[in-house]
Amino acid sequence: QIQLAESGGGSVKTGSSLILSCVASKTTDLHYCLAWFRQRPGKEREAVVAYDVLGTWRYSNSVRGRFSVARDNANAENTLYLHMNSLEPADSALYYCAAKRLPCITSREADFNYWGQGTQVTVSS
């Protein structure tokens, strides 16, 4: 069974950058879709970067233009990176990596079966 481990969170100032990593272990199977979600204080978990119905990356409106993803399948483990730039206090959240089997055509939380423990990002002004 796929296991997900996030890292890279931290406490930073407004305008800073962070790179989160999600390592999907126990699989080199590319038939998994990896995505990033987050849960801000007092709010429900939401998709940050997942997929649209065409199978391309879908960014939430609040992060589009500031965040980007990159996937590395070269090693024995699949890794999904989340590059976060121009961070704002509103980006403070627990960031989760999630996975599901193909097809990759959804951003719905309920469609993702596997979750990491999360990594905390705190942005202060």
pLDDT tier at 72, thresholds 50, 70, 90: confident
Identify the sign of the CA torsion 53, 54, 57, 58: negative
Task: Render pLDDT for 29-55 as a digit per residue (tens, 0 to 9).
Answer: 667 899 999 999 999 999 999 999 999
Which of 95, 121, 91, 108 is closest to 6 using CA atoms? 95
Alpha carbons within 13 angstroms on the beta-carbon side of residue 31 total: 4
Express as a percent the part of the chain with pLDDT over 90.
Answer: 82
Predicted pLDDT at 30: 65
Predicted pLDDT at 76: 58
